[in-house]
Every structure is written in structure tokens, then in C-alpha cells.
Amino acid sequence: MADADSFEDGANETRHDFTENDFRIKRVLDSLESSARAIKDDPIAADDIAARVHALRHLLKEVGHDV
């Protein structure tokens, strides 16, 4: 009987927990981006919000999220 590596088991569990919410995160970012595009009265604010969403998406990808 092989001994289970508790460190590896914990790392896999953490990795799963980390990426479990990627779908939800992506939906929220998509929704924010869509809302930003819907702003017609203030194009500067709309562009600012869209840029922030884009930056946040990029940062989440950098740390390993699939968004």
C-alpha cells in the first residue's frame, strides 16, 4: 500500500479551490464589461470602467485563473 503524500493532496485541493470559481469570476467580469459598454452618457467613464475590467482580467490570468 502506497503512502499518500499529504502535501501533494493539500496542494491539489488548494489548486482546485483556487480555480473552482473561475466561471463565476469570468461571468462577473463579462457583465461589468457589458455594463461599461452600455454607458452612453459618459464615454470617458465607460472607457475607464472597461479598462479597469481588462486590467483585472489580466492580473487574474497572471496568477493562474482561467478568465
pLDDT digits (tens, 9 = 90+) for 29-67: 999 999 988 998 999 999 999 999 999 999 999 988 888
Please report, to the nearest 10 degrees, the dihedral formed by the alpha carbons of residues 13, 63, 27, 22 taken in order.
Answer: -10
**Residue 11: predicted pLDDT:** 73
Domain count within the chain: 1
**Residue 10: predicted pLDDT:** 73
Please report whether residue 9 resides in a domain: no
Please report whether residue 51 resides in a domain: yes
Please report whether residue 13 resides in a domain: no
**Residue 3: predicted pLDDT:** 62
Please report whether residue 16 resides in a domain: no
Cell of 11: 496542494
